[in-house]
Structures are given as structure tokens and as C-alpha cells.
Amino acid sequence: MASVEFHLPDLGENISSGDVVTVLVAPGDTITQDQPVLELETDKAVIEVPSPVGGVVTQVHVTAGSKAAVGQLIMTLESRDAAPGPTATPAPSADPPSAPTPASTAGGVVEFRLPDLGENVASGDVVQVLVKVGEQVAQDQPVIELETDKAVVEVPSPAAGTVTEVHVQPGQKASVGQVIISLSTADAGAAAAAAARATAPTARTAPAVPAPPAAAPAQPAAPTPTAAPAAPTGEPRVATPAGHAGVGRPLVAAAPSVRRLAREIGVDINHVAGTGPGGRVSADDVKAHARRPPAAGATPAAPTAVASGPAIAPSAPASSGLPDFAQWGQVERQPMSNVRRITAERLTQAWTQVPQVTVFDQADITELERWRRDNGKRVEAAGGKLTPTAIALRVVATALRRFPDFNASVDMARAELVYKQYCHVGVAVDTERGLLVPVIRHADQKSLVELAVELSQVAEKARARKLSPDDMQGGCFTISNLGSIGSVGFTPIINPPEVAILGLARATHQAVYRDGQFVPRLILPVSLTFDHRLIDGAGGARFLHWIVQALENPFFLLLEG
């Protein structure tokens, strides 16, 4: 056996350490590769840290309640097949370690596994399978469409060959490392190497899905009695944290948020039957277990301390606090899409963590609309549309250079302001799946025609579910236009870590008093929401007034530069 030292891996950007919430293993335990060994609470979430190899734990170097830093020694184990990642250091051994192969071969058949999907993305929903058994595929040909928290991406085949088996179906969730398709190829060795390169993960954090940024920090696990009752015959025995009864049994599969829910409502997750893939326990499984009456002779779990508040009916879901709506009539529950869920999480984070102020104004765009109609054909000939949003995109790009506070981010952890020397502007697009915000890069360096063409292209990609994660990252400022739908005004919510967002409502003809008489003018309501930690009310008003001036006079930008 080879002795392997497992050090705490990289936890993500700007995270150098965390607090150990629970140690999930003890000396003498036999663990498998990717089995969680501890729960760690960082500034952003509680995550499970998996072991890079399987083997027998010989020593645990951290305890619950202690702080662990990236690179710190976490545990030592003996492994026959030590295949250490960047955080596992093997001691010298006579048995040379062999790294696991992401794509295995057998008789000329290559198993292609889902590759790394990017930072903090461990799985996705299969939208469409693009190949079928018996079909010839070329290298880099897309084989499935996968919807992650950020976008729908096409997953290409790492090698050419004939599809012998498809292991996923539309609607199914696929995880990184899961077998997607099997290929029969003439050169299985080279194909396997290509698949291995495609599947090899970059330096990433634990594959557990993090809790939403705005969620309250998880509390340490409640102590478990030292003598746990034996599980009934035929029921799978599962592990409990180190130092408690049952150490050495297989660990129940559940996300940190599910474990936290079980602790909060007093459910021993080790006794919950999982209905997910591979017996994984979901939040619904925990709630269902909590609603079941205890078996005869069973000792009820000790409740954990919770904040005082109004009592909830026993039939209500324990985590949401919602009443049982079915008592008043028929209801239907549908799972959130990934886009809707991540939108809800980000907007909750923005609303609870960023002090936001909204100012309103009106722009007389009578002359701008006349100019837009006169020049629209030229832009259409180039492949775009001269829309009010495209014009606002050009105006905002120029304004961000003149008002650098609006092209910045607030780093409270370091007490610093981050001023960006680039200008990438996001534009909210309404799609069937929800609100998506593709980013127009270097908007300040492009002409109005170029911006109009690119805006038309990214909007079409968004509606056709063709945006990649990179298409929606790196924005400095966002524009949201509800004018085509119809609204007299609204307060847009900031898209963190940006510090401002511009809202455009529906333009209407109004009677405006000028030179002693009322004249019809086209008036556009505009609103600006900004982060009050960086921008004061006067600064927000000046920025929006500058936007209004630029919209009212198409030649204003020439004068202002």
C-alpha cells in the first residue's frame, strides 16, 4: 500500500481557509475515491471536501471547530491505487500509484464521461441527446445539450467512432465524471486518451453544490448520542461523523444544504431513505421522513435549537414555512428550472446584501426616434436592428468612461473598490426559460452599427438556448428594457458584483408645454438603480441626467466624446 497525505484543495477565488463543521471519517475507516471526508464552512457556503483517492484512513489532522487553510494536511490514508490529485501527496512506496482513467476502454469501446463544466458547476440537466446508437460521430461533434445553472452548453465527443450505447436521456441530471456515451473506434487507445483529456478536471473545489450566497451560515452539526440504535435488518447502514457511533459505515450521499436541513428539523439523515440517483438523499426525502410517525419503540430524534417564531402545522413543508395549500384546493408543484433557480438566488443576494437606491427621470426622444427611423435601413443592411436598446448601449458605454464609479465593484472583504479598465455591458433578454443577460464586450470601442448587429446576434442566441457560460460573464453594467412589453416605470435590481443597472420603460406621446403652448412629444421613462455603498444620490442623479441628455440629442455624444 501507498501512504497518501491529503491536503486541503483550492476552495475557489479569494477563499484561503474555512471552518471545519464536521469531520466525516475517523482512523480505521475505509473510504472510496470522492467520498466526502469533512464539511467546511467558507465565507460563501458549507461544502463537502471529497477524498482524492480511496483507502484506509490512518490519521485525521483536523477537528470540528478548527480552522483549515488551503494546503493544510487534512488526513493520511493507506491506498492500494493511490492516484493523488494536486492536493494529495503520496509518501514513497514500493507500489507505484496508477492514476484513474476518465475514459475506460474494453475491446475497442471507449466510455466518454461528462467533462468539467467550469468553476462550481458539478452537474446539469440533459436537454437533448443529439446522437443515437449506431450513429457515426466525428471528433468534436456535439453529442448532448446540457443545461447548467448558467447556460445551455453543447458537449462534444472527444473522438470519432460509432455510438454503441447512450447512457443518459433528456430530462435526466448528469454529473461531472458520469458516463455519457460509449463509442466503438478503431484506435481505442488514442480515443481513450482524448476522452481523458476532455474529462480531466481543472483545479476546482469540492463537487458538492454550494448553498445559495444569501443563505444563512450553517450551524455546526448537533451532537449525536454515542450509542446509536442499530439499523433494522435490510436497511443500509450509513456513517456518522467521526467520534460517533457507526464510524466506518458507508457515508450517506446528500448535499450540504440537505444535511443542514436535517440538522435544523431534528432528523438523523443516516436513517433517511434516499430516492435520488445512487440512493442520494434530497430535501424532499428529509421532509417526507420528518412527517412519518416514528416506528414502535423508536426513540425520536432530539430537536435542534431554532429561533422562536409562529408554530407551523405538522403537514406544512418544514424548510419553507409555507402552509399546506392542498387543504384549500388542488395544487400542482413543478421544479424550478436551473435558470429560474439561479436567478432567484442571485436576486435574493442582491436585495439582501446590496443597499440599493433608484432614481427616475424622463427623456424626450422625439428627435432620437426620428433619427432612428431615418437611419434604421442602413443598420438592417449590416445585419442588425437600430433599436432603442442598441442606442442606449452606445450611450451607456460612453457614460461608463465619463463616470468611472459606475464601472466598478465593491470588495468589502478587502475594503477596496475595483475600477475596471474595460467596458463590458450586459443586456437583459426575455426568453422562454427566464431572464438571461448576455454581455457585449468592449462596448465603448464599437460603433453603433457594430453594437446593433452584435446585440441582435446575442439576443437570438439567448432565445435559441445557444449562449455559453462565457457569453454571460464579465459584465460591468446592465441594461433592462421593458418598453416593448409595456410599463410606465420600474425599479430594476442590481446584478452583483455590478454597482448599477439602467431601466427603460415604454415611451408614450405626451403634451409638453414649450414656448407658451403644449406640443406632442415622445417621452421615455428611465430609471437607474445603484449601489449606495459606492454611489451617493447626487452621483446617481448626475449619471442618469447625462444619459437623458445623450438620448435627447443624438449629437450630444460627439460633443462629450
Residues belonging to the active site: 532
| Distance, CA of 410 to CA of 233 (rounded, Å) | 56
**The length of the chain, given as a count of residues:** 561
* Under 8 Å between Cβ of 322 and 489: no
Q: Distance of CA 213 to CAs 63, 209, 480, 525, Å?
A: 25, 12, 23, 33
Other beta carbons within 10 Å of 33: 15
| Distance, CA of 502 to CA of 479 (rounded, Å) | 5
* Under 8 Å between Cβ of 219 and 260: yes
| Distance, CA of 473 to CA of 437 (rounded, Å) | 9
What contacts 87, CB < 8 A, 6 or more positions away? 6, 7, 8, 9, 10, 52, 71
| Distance, CA of 320 to CA of 343 (rounded, Å) | 18
Closest to 176 measured CA to CA, from 143, 137, 146? 146
| Residue in the structure block whose three cell numbers are 448558467 | 150
Rounded to 5 degrees, what are φ and ψ at 395?
A: -65, -45
Q: Which pairing describes strands 73-79 and 55-60: parallel, antiparallel, or unpaired?
A: antiparallel
| Distance, CA of 198 to CA of 139 (rounded, Å) | 11
H or E element that contains 552: helix 537-552
H or E element that contains 394: helix 388-402
- The three cell numbers of residue 357 are 437606491
